[in-house]
Amino acid sequence: MLGKGVVGGGGGTKAPKPSFVSYVRPEEIHTNEKEVTEKEVTLHLLPGEQLLCEASTVLKYVQEDSCQRGIYGKLVCTDFKIAFLGDDESALDNDETQFKNKIIGENDITLHCVDQIYGVFDEKKKTLFGQLKKYPEKLIIHCKDFRVFHFCLRYTKEEEVKRIVSGIIHHTLAPKLLKRLFLFSYATAVQHNMATNPKNHTVMFDTLEDWWWELERTKGSMKYKAVSVNEGYKVCERLPAYFAVPTPLPEENVSRFQGHGIPIWCWSYHNGCALLKMSALPKEQDDSILQIQKSFLDGIYRIIHRPPYEIVKTEDLSNNFLSLPDIQTAYSKFKQLFLIDNSTEFWDTDIKWFSLLESSNWLDIIRRCLKKAIEIIECLEAQNMNVLLLEENTSDLCCLISSLVQVMMDPHCRTRAGFQSLVQKEWIMGGHCFLDRCNHLRQSDKEEVPVFLLFLDCVWQLVHQHAPAFEFTETYLTVLSDSLYIPIFSTFFFNSPHQRETNMHQRQLSLPLTQSKSSPKRGFFREETDHLIKNLLGKRISKLINSSDELQDNFREFYDSWHSKPTDYHGLLLPHIEGPEIRVWAQRYLRWIPEAQILGGGTVATMSKLLEMMEEVQSLQEKIDERHHHQEALQGEARSLLRNSVRLSSLFPFALLQRHSSKPVLPTSGWKTLGDEDDLAKREDEFVDLGDV
Burial string for 216-237 (b: 16+ CB within 10 Å, else e) reads ebbebbebbbbbebbeebebbb
pLDDT for res 616 = 86
Half-sphere exposure of 686 (CA within 13 A, CB side): 19
Query: Does residue 594 have a cis peptide bond before it, meaning omega lies within 30 degrees of 0?
Result: no
> Average of pLDDT values for 662-673?
36
pLDDT-wise least confident of 54-63, 412-421, 612-621: 612-621
Contact 648, 99 (CB under 8 A): no
Q: 162 vs 19, which has greater pLDDT?
A: 162
E strands present in 358-423: 386-391
Sorting pLDDT into bands at 50, 70 and 90, what band is 456? very high
- Number of residues assigned to the chain: 693
**3 state DSSP class of 589:** helix
Average pLDDT, the chain: 80
pLDDT in tens, 356-382: 999 999 999 999 999 999 999 999 999
- The C-alpha angle with vertex 128 and arms to 124 and 133, in degrees rounded to 5, equals 85
Q: Is the sign of the CA dihedral 613, 619, 622, 627 positive or negative?
A: negative
pLDDT in tens, 132-159: 999 999 999 999 999 999 999 999 999 9
Q: Which domains does the chain show, CATH number per domain? A: 51-90+100-174 (2.30.29.30), 208-506+535-587 (no CATH)
pLDDT-wise least confident of 87-101, 276-290, 457-471, 616-630: 87-101
pLDDT for res 607 = 75
Residues 6+ apart with CB under 8 A from 514: 197, 199, 200, 416, 686, 687, 689
Cα 52 to Cα 373: distance, rounded to the nearest angstrom: 47
pLDDT for res 382 = 95
pLDDT in tens, 298-311: 888 888 887 888 78
Half-sphere exposure of 450 (CA within 13 A, CB side): 22
Phi and psi torsions of 59, nearest 5°: -105, 120
pLDDT in tens, 490-512: 899 999 999 999 998 644 444 54
Q: Is the sign of the CA dihedral 586, 590, 596, 599 positive or negative?
A: positive
Report CA-CA distances (Å) from 428 to 309, 340, 353.
28, 33, 36
> Average of pLDDT values for 39-63?
89
pLDDT for res 411 = 98
pLDDT for res 624 = 85
SS (H, E, C) 490-506: CCCCCCCHHHHHHHCCC
pLDDT for res 157 = 96
pLDDT for res 660 = 37
Contact 231, 489 (CB under 8 A): no
pLDDT in tens, 211-248: 999 999 999 999 999 999 999 999 999 999 999 999 99
pLDDT in tens, 251-260: 899 988 888 9
When computed from its CA atoms, the radius of gyration of the chain, rounded to whole angstroms, is 27
Report the number of secondary-structure helices (H) and strands (E) in the chain: 24, 14
**3 state DSSP class of 160:** helix
Cα 627 to Cα 546: distance, rounded to the nearest angstrom: 64
